[in-house]
Protein backbone atom coordinates (compact mmCIF):
# COMPACT_ATOMS: atom_id res chain seq x y z
CA UNK A 1 0.00 0.00 0.00
CA UNK A 2 1.22 3.50 -0.81
CA UNK A 3 2.37 5.72 2.05
CA UNK A 4 0.53 9.07 2.39
CA UNK A 5 2.47 12.34 2.80
CA UNK A 6 0.82 15.76 3.26
CA UNK A 7 2.12 18.77 1.37
CA UNK A 8 2.61 21.41 4.07
CA UNK A 9 1.25 24.41 2.13
CA UNK A 10 -2.03 22.52 1.44
CA UNK A 11 -3.37 23.60 4.84
CA UNK A 12 -2.69 27.26 4.06
CA UNK A 13 -4.06 26.93 0.50
CA UNK A 14 -7.24 25.39 1.91
CA UNK A 15 -7.63 28.20 4.48
CA UNK A 16 -7.09 30.82 1.76
CA UNK A 17 -9.79 29.35 -0.46
CA UNK A 18 -7.58 27.90 -3.18
CA UNK A 19 -9.41 24.56 -2.99
CA UNK A 20 -13.16 24.05 -3.04
CA UNK A 21 -14.09 20.39 -2.98
CA UNK A 22 -17.82 21.08 -3.32
CA UNK A 23 -18.29 23.62 -6.12
CA UNK A 24 -15.33 22.92 -8.38
CA UNK A 25 -15.82 20.39 -11.13
CA UNK A 26 -15.13 17.60 -8.59
CA UNK A 27 -12.74 16.19 -11.13
CA UNK A 28 -9.96 18.67 -10.70
CA UNK A 29 -7.77 16.52 -8.49
CA UNK A 30 -5.22 14.94 -10.76
CA UNK A 31 -2.34 12.48 -10.26
CA UNK A 32 1.20 13.15 -11.43
CA UNK A 33 3.62 10.20 -11.36
CA UNK A 34 7.33 10.64 -10.56
CA UNK A 35 10.54 8.59 -10.37
CA UNK A 36 12.66 7.87 -7.33
CA UNK A 37 14.94 10.73 -8.34
CA UNK A 38 12.01 13.15 -8.30
CA UNK A 39 10.21 12.22 -5.09
CA UNK A 40 8.10 15.18 -3.95
CA UNK A 41 8.86 16.58 -0.53
CA UNK A 42 6.45 18.08 1.99
CA UNK A 43 7.75 21.58 1.25
CA UNK A 44 7.00 21.45 -2.49
CA UNK A 45 4.10 23.77 -3.29
CA UNK A 46 3.02 23.39 -6.91
CA UNK A 47 3.23 20.84 -9.72
CA UNK A 48 6.09 22.86 -11.21
CA UNK A 49 8.20 22.02 -8.13
CA UNK A 50 8.31 18.35 -9.11
CA UNK A 51 9.27 16.62 -12.35
CA UNK A 52 6.60 14.08 -13.31
CA UNK A 53 7.25 11.36 -15.86
CA UNK A 54 5.72 11.69 -19.34
CA UNK A 55 2.15 10.50 -18.79
CA UNK A 56 0.78 10.55 -22.34
CA UNK A 57 0.41 6.73 -22.39
CA UNK A 58 -1.82 6.70 -19.30
CA UNK A 59 -5.59 6.79 -19.13
CA UNK A 60 -7.33 9.58 -17.22
CA UNK A 61 -5.54 10.52 -14.01
CA UNK A 62 -8.49 12.42 -12.53
CA UNK A 63 -9.43 11.48 -8.97
CA UNK A 64 -13.23 11.52 -8.59
CA UNK A 65 -14.89 12.60 -5.35
CA UNK A 66 -17.76 10.44 -4.09
CA UNK A 67 -18.60 12.40 -0.94
CA UNK A 68 -17.53 15.49 0.90
CA UNK A 69 -18.91 16.48 4.28
CA UNK A 70 -18.61 16.39 8.04
CA UNK A 71 -19.92 14.31 10.92
CA UNK A 72 -19.68 15.84 14.41
CA UNK A 73 -17.13 18.38 13.26
CA UNK A 74 -14.75 16.09 11.38
CA UNK A 75 -14.71 16.73 7.62
CA UNK A 76 -13.97 13.79 5.34
CA UNK A 77 -13.33 13.75 1.59
CA UNK A 78 -13.87 10.34 0.00
CA UNK A 79 -12.70 9.40 -3.50
CA UNK A 80 -13.22 6.43 -5.75
CA UNK A 81 -10.21 4.23 -6.45
CA UNK A 82 -8.27 5.36 -9.50
CA UNK A 83 -7.34 2.74 -12.09
CA UNK A 84 -4.67 3.82 -14.58
CA UNK A 85 -4.46 1.82 -17.82
CA UNK A 86 -1.43 2.03 -20.09
CA UNK A 87 -2.09 2.55 -23.82
CA UNK A 88 1.63 1.93 -24.47
CA UNK A 89 4.73 1.53 -22.29
CA UNK A 90 4.80 3.86 -19.29
CA UNK A 91 8.13 4.96 -17.81
CA UNK A 92 9.17 3.72 -14.38
CA UNK A 93 7.62 5.51 -11.39
CA UNK A 94 7.46 4.88 -7.66
CA UNK A 95 5.42 7.78 -6.31
CA UNK A 96 2.59 10.04 -7.29
CA UNK A 97 1.34 13.45 -6.24
CA UNK A 98 -2.23 14.70 -6.14
CA UNK A 99 -2.69 18.29 -7.28
CA UNK A 100 -5.60 20.64 -7.99
CA UNK A 101 -5.78 21.23 -11.72
CA UNK A 102 -8.49 23.91 -11.39
CA UNK A 103 -7.60 27.24 -9.84
CA UNK A 104 -10.54 28.07 -7.57
CA UNK A 105 -9.38 31.42 -6.24
CA UNK A 106 -6.46 33.69 -7.01
CA UNK A 107 -3.55 31.63 -5.88
CA UNK A 108 -0.93 29.16 -7.04
CA UNK A 109 -1.31 27.32 -10.35
CA UNK A 110 -1.63 23.53 -9.93
CA UNK A 111 -1.17 23.51 -6.13
CA UNK A 112 -0.04 20.20 -4.66
CA UNK A 113 -2.28 18.52 -2.08
CA UNK A 114 -0.42 15.36 -1.06
CA UNK A 115 1.87 12.68 -2.39
CA UNK A 116 2.16 8.94 -1.96
CA UNK A 117 5.27 6.77 -2.01
CA UNK A 118 4.52 3.40 -3.60
CA UNK A 119 7.45 1.66 -1.94
CA UNK A 120 8.85 0.00 -5.05
CA UNK A 121 9.31 0.90 -8.69
CA UNK A 122 6.45 0.31 -11.14
CA UNK A 123 6.46 0.08 -14.91
CA UNK A 124 3.42 -0.53 -17.08
CA UNK A 125 3.34 -2.27 -20.45
CA UNK A 126 0.52 -1.80 -22.95
CA UNK A 127 -2.89 -2.65 -21.41
CA UNK A 128 -1.49 -3.15 -17.89
CA UNK A 129 -3.20 -1.32 -15.03
CA UNK A 130 -2.16 0.36 -11.80
CA UNK A 131 -4.78 0.91 -9.09
CA UNK A 132 -4.63 3.61 -6.45
CA UNK A 133 -6.75 2.27 -3.60
CA UNK A 134 -8.11 5.21 -1.63
CA UNK A 135 -9.53 4.42 1.81
CA UNK A 136 -13.37 4.45 1.59
CA UNK A 137 -13.74 4.55 5.38
CA UNK A 138 -11.25 7.23 6.40
CA UNK A 139 -11.39 9.08 3.11
CA UNK A 140 -8.81 10.81 0.99
CA UNK A 141 -8.19 13.09 3.96
CA UNK A 142 -9.95 14.22 7.12
CA UNK A 143 -9.95 17.61 8.77
CA UNK A 144 -10.92 17.99 12.42
Domain range annotation of the chain:
3-138
pLDDT value of residue 143? 85
Helix-strand-coil percent breakdown of the chain, rounded to 5?
10, 45, 45
What pLDDT does residue 26 have?
A: 46
The mean per-residue pLDDT over the stretch 67-90 comes to: 90
pLDDT tens digits for range 80-135: 888 999 999 999 999 999 998 876 667 788 889 888 888 889 999 999 999 988 88
Percent of the chain beyond pLDDT 70? 91
Cβ atoms of 94 and 36 closer than 8 Å: yes
Q: Are 84 and 58 contacting, i.e. CB atoms less than 8 angstroms apart?
A: yes
* CA 115/CA 9 separation, integer angstroms: 13
Per the prediction, the chain carries an average pLDDT of: 85
The residue among 126 and 19 whose pLDDT is bigger is 126
DSSP state letter for 14? H
Amino acid sequence: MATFNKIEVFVEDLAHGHHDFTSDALSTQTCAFCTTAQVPVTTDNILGDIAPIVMTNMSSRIVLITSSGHTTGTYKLVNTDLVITASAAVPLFDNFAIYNDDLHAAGPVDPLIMWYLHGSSVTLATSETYTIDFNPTNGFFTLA
